[in-house]
Amino acid sequence: MGQISFLLNGQTVRATGEDPHTTVLSWLRQQGLTGSKEGCAEGECGACAVLLLRPDGQGSRFEAVNSCLLLLPSLAGQEVWTVEGLAQGNTLHPVQEAMLQGGSQCGYCTPGFVVSMAAEYYRRDRDGFDLEALSGNLCRCTGYRPIQDAANSLGQPPQEDSLARRLTAPVPAVKSMEYCPETNGSPVQSPGRYYRPISLKELFQTLTDHPTAKLVAGGTDWVVEVNQRFARAEVQVDLSQIPDLKTLSWTDVYVEMGAGVTLCEAERWLQGRIPLLVEWFPLFASRLIRNRATLGGNLGTASPIGDLPPVLLALQAELVLVGPAGVRVVNLQSFFSGYRQTVLGPGEVIQAIRIPLPLAPLARFYKVAKRPMDDISTVAAAFALHLEKGRVQSIQIGLGGVAPTPVRAYRTEAFLVGRPWDERTVGAAAEVIRAEFKPIDDHRGSAAYRTAMLGSLLHKFHAETPEVRV
């Protein structure tokens, strides 16, 4: 209750007296493990990356995560490795050795790159090196080419590699946990409590006891608030270790993925079976984020610019909500009730996301942003189209960044249904969709550009589905 115990670089450590909002990064640095750096404190730069051991079948795998977005109590009972734990005495780890050839200049981002690279190095059944593994690490000096070369030079871990051997064994079983620091710890504020239930039953009990508790899944949104705007919660409830929120099933009529499934877990499990999501995953944040961020979390925050809702809206997804009173299923479009607001009742959580089958035959996702990878959308648009003899039988258009909530373009969809899928129709539909929404100006883009994109992306979708043109 008053301490957090976990494995750090192979050694058991205990933290006491720490405010439950303490991030792993700040704790590590206080301990003198200053290899992990703070570059942004919001999961954008990756300089703080650490390896978290996660279950993988019979064994385990390393996931690189941003330690600035990881709350210290969430580590309880888990196993974490930092850049300091990779070299064996004076013998560098292979990824460290590879980075020596120009991979570092100022060196500040380097530990984060080394950690991200190590996670990919140990990925099971890896064929080559997936550079996307480094998409969450920023370097201001090198221009990335030598880092790319370092990554591409890596072979497979040798049999005797101690970390590779570690992965053949399972992760420690995670237990239910309640943490409250000793009161003589922080001189400043009432430090609050941290609960980590491991069943829905336990979760509901905790939420009944603490109705205003802050729900934390991956923490990739909440801990940004903690770091950047100093948000504090009396009670935080960790949803990441509840098996009932992590189910995955593919039936004849729908695909169901638990709200607590991380984006990387979903990506691995789907194995390309939903093409729209295949296109979407790499555009949704970096792997460092996707290793933590959950499907339910991206919906629960109800951000107008979250990238998951447009895709799920186009896929006509439903949400399974569960609370002490039982289960209910709602359409995604009726889930968002306003700017950062949802229909979730007291004590209720998202249990799963359901995508109806069969999928529309033609679907695309477009994200307009200043940077293609790991940027927030100026406009995001997902299209799912069913054509019958060259005419639109049905179309779903999900949009982000053009209204206070993610939206479907119902008016435009209605306009299109029954018409031939040709330049003329699309030209007219572009007029309709531009008039359907009134986006705003901000630093990401002007209202005029967003409006223009509504029509343009529809044109683009049409232009990129030429094989079905009449």
In the bound complex, what is the minimum distance in angstroms from residue 123's beta carbon to another protein?
Answer: 17
In the bound complex, what is the minimum distance in angstroms from residue 353's beta carbon to another protein?
Answer: 25
d(Cα 354, Cα 113) in Å, to the nearest integer? 36
Residues 470, 390 contacting (CB under 8 angstroms): yes
Beta strands at 79-81 and 3-8: parallel, antiparallel or unpaired: parallel
d(Cα 448, Cα 388) in Å, to the nearest integer? 34
Task: Report the residue number, 13 or 92, with the smaller CB distance to another protein.
Answer: 92
- Residue from 35, 77, 300, 323 touching another protein (CB under 8 A): that is 35
Q: How many residues form the binding site for another protein (CB under 8 A)?
A: 87
DSSP 116-171: HHHHHHT-TT--S--GGGGTT---SSS-SHHHHHHHHT--PPPTT-HHHHHTTSPP
By CB under 8 A, what part of segment 279-298 binds another protein?
none
| Contact track, another protein, 311-350, x by CB under 8 A | ----------------------------------------
- The pair phi, psi for residue 202, each rounded to 5°, is -65, -40
By CB under 8 A, what part of segment 233-272 binds another protein?
none
DSSP 3-state of 50 = strand
d(Cα 384, Cα 363) in Å, to the nearest integer? 4
- Residue from 153, 446, 447, 465 touching another protein (CB under 8 A): that is 446
Which is nearest to 259 in space by CA: 301, 211, 287, 201? 301
- Residue from 135, 236, 262, 298 touching another protein (CB under 8 A): that is 135
Stated as kind and residue range, the H or E segment containing 298 is helix 295-300
Query: The dihedral of CA 331, 240, 70, 161: what is its sign?
Result: negative
- Six token digits for residue 295: 């499907």
CA angle 231, 236, 239 (to 5 degrees): 125
- Residue from 110, 206, 316, 333 touching another protein (CB under 8 A): that is 110
> Which part of the chain contacts another protein (CB under 8 A), choosing from 29-37, 195-203, 293-301, 413-421?
29-37
By CB under 8 A, what part of segment 296-315 binds another protein?
none
DSSP 3-state of 219 = coil
By CB under 8 A, what part of segment 50-109 binds another protein?
82-84, 86-87, 92, 95-97, 99-109
- Residue from 7, 13, 40, 447 touching another protein (CB under 8 A): that is 40
By CB under 8 A, what part of segment 165-224 binds another protein?
186-189, 224
Which is nearest to 320 in space by CA: 355, 359, 275? 355
| Contact track, another protein, 384-423, x by CB under 8 A | ----------------------------------------
Query: Rule CB under 8 A: is residue 429 a binding residue for another protein?
Result: no
> Which part of the chain contacts another protein (CB under 8 A), choosing from 332-340, 344-352, 374-382, 417-425?
374-382
